[in-house]
Amino acid sequence: MKAITKREREVLVLTCTGYSNKRVAAKLGISIKTAINIRALVYNKLNVHNVADLVRVVLVKKIMTMGDLKR
């Protein structure tokens, strides 16, 4: 697995907690296009194709805990 950057981790946490690309962008002060691109990088690094798979991989590989995913 490739290393996840700090910004990718921020997007990852927000995505796993249910934030849309628009909400991720607003929360982090980035454009929607940037949020989409970062999410795509994370999906690629973790070899997932949707949010459900993303959450499963994050928890199974212990990239984060449930406590990290609290809003």
Q: How far is CA 1 from CA 10, 29, 42, 57, 59, in A?
A: 18, 28, 11, 11, 14
> How many DSSP H helices and E strands does the chain contain?
4, 0
Range of the domain at 27: 6-63
- Report if residue 27 sits inside a domain: yes
- Report if residue 58 sits inside a domain: yes
The whole-chain average pLDDT of the chain stands at 91
Q: 71 pLDDT exceeds 60?
A: no
Token pair for 31: 């454009």
- Report if residue 30 sits inside a domain: yes
List the end-to-end C-alpha distance of the chain, in Å, as a whole number.
26
Q: What is the pTM of this model?
A: 0.86
Structurally, how many domains does the chain consist of?
1
For 4-13, 18-27, 55-64, which range has the lowest pLDDT when averaged over its residues?
Answer: 55-64
- Report if residue 25 sits inside a domain: yes
Residue 16 CB neighbours (<10 A): 19
